[in-house]
Structure 1
Amino acid sequence: MKAEYLNPFVHATKNVLETMAQTKLTGKKPHLKEGVSTYGDVTGIIGMASDSVEGSMTISFPSACILTIVSRMLMEEAKTTIDNDIVDAVGEITNMICGGAKAEFGKLGLSFNLATPTMVTGKGVEIHHHSDVPIIVLPFETDCGTFVLEANLASK
């Protein structure tokens, strides 16, 4: 995956969560993903395709982190467990981040079509991508914990 493909994801993630959930993010050092298991307890996955590039974006949150983020987004008391509302919120976050990244990719001359996000719950769920391209893990630190965004984009 080209290095310039990472910045749209980083910028969009920071913009969405700092704006929508009043949650300050600090990006940590990206690294290659080892294995195929999800990082957190709730994960959003979305496919991306253009005329020349295709792949996916995954965002995965531990319970405590996403429960706090969603409570901030909705300006409500934090829930204590993952429920359908939390899973739906992860779908919306996935859409907003990928949509923001899509806009930035447009500035690079790439126009993506986005799939409908899929959400999975459970830590360590195996996700198998269609691409053989290495998956880049972008960890983010917040005051409510660490979550990861994973991206893999490859030329067709």
Structure 2
Amino acid sequence: MKAVFLNPFVKSVFEILESVVYETPEKGDIFIRERYPCNMETVSAMVGITGKLTGQVTLTMSRKSAISIAAKMMMEDGLEELDECAQSALAEMANMVAANAAASLCDDGYECDITTPTVITGSNIEISFRPEVKTIVIPLTLSVGSIDVNISVAETSFIKGLQGSARAASETAAAGAI
């Protein structure tokens, strides 16, 4: 993934967390996700990227971290459940991260838009990212919990080129089999 695509998300996630959780997260060692599908934490807030860029940003966290982060966002000290309001807060956090990054990317000439955020909860969640596009993971730690920011974004023309190459290869193989 090009740094020009990654940096707006990194900047955005720090800005948004500082504004909704009121603290600066501590960044862990960034790594590339190697396995697909990957087993995520129990709560994932996902937003797709469309337009000249294709991909997604997924914020993953434990249920305990999700409740603590949502409680801080909603200024509700006694929150004990990941109810509809808490899930909505997490969806909005992911939405703000993606929207700010998309605006920055548009300013740099990469016209893109975001999809409606989705929050997925459960145990042993498996999420598949496009294996041909590296997923960069940024672990963040806050006093109220931790979040892994999974960023998988590429130029749409790159993705379509890969799909075209795969299609041509399968058509050639099929023609040779006849």
- Give your verdict on TM over 0.5: yes
Aligned residues of 1:136 and 1:152 also touching (Cα < 8 A): yes
Report the TM-score, using the length of structure 2 for normalisation. 0.79
RMSD value, Cα: 1.7
Paired position in structure 1 for 2:165? none
Post-superposition shift, 1:91? 0.9
Correspondence 1:12-91 to 2 at 5 A: 12-35=12-35, 36-51=37-52, 53-91=53-91
Distance verdict in 2 for CA 1:149–1:78, change over 3 Å: farther
Return the index of the structure with the highest Cα Rg: 2
Aligned residues: 155
Kindly indicate which of the two structures has a greater share of residues assigned to helix. Answer: 2
Q: Is 1:114 aligned to residue 78 of structure 2?
A: no
User: For residues 151 and 59 of structure 1, what CA distance do their matches in structure 2 show?
Assistant: 9
The runs of 5 or more residues in structure 1 that have no matched partner are none
Post-superposition shift, 1:132? 2.3
Aligned sequence identity (%): 26
Q: Is 1:98 aligned to residue 98 of structure 2?
A: yes
User: For residues 73 and 91 of structure 1, what CA distance do their matches in structure 2 show?
Assistant: 12
User: For residues 106 and 131 of structure 2, what CA distance do their matches in structure 1 show?
Assistant: 22
Write the letter of the residue equivalent to 1:39.
Answer: M
Post-superposition shift, 1:39? 3.1
The runs of 5 or more residues in structure 2 that have no matched partner are 158-178
| Structure possessing the higher relative contact order (Cα contacts under 8 Å, 6 or more residues apart) | 1
User: For residues 86 and 14 of structure 1, what CA distance do their matches in structure 2 show?
Assistant: 20
Write the letter of the residue equivalent to 1:70.
Answer: A
Write the letter of the residue equivalent to 1:121.
Answer: T
Spell out, residue by residue over 1:112-135, the C-alpha distance to the aligned partner (whole angstroms, 9 max, x if none): 111111211024311123562121
Write the letter of the residue equivalent to 1:40.
Answer: E
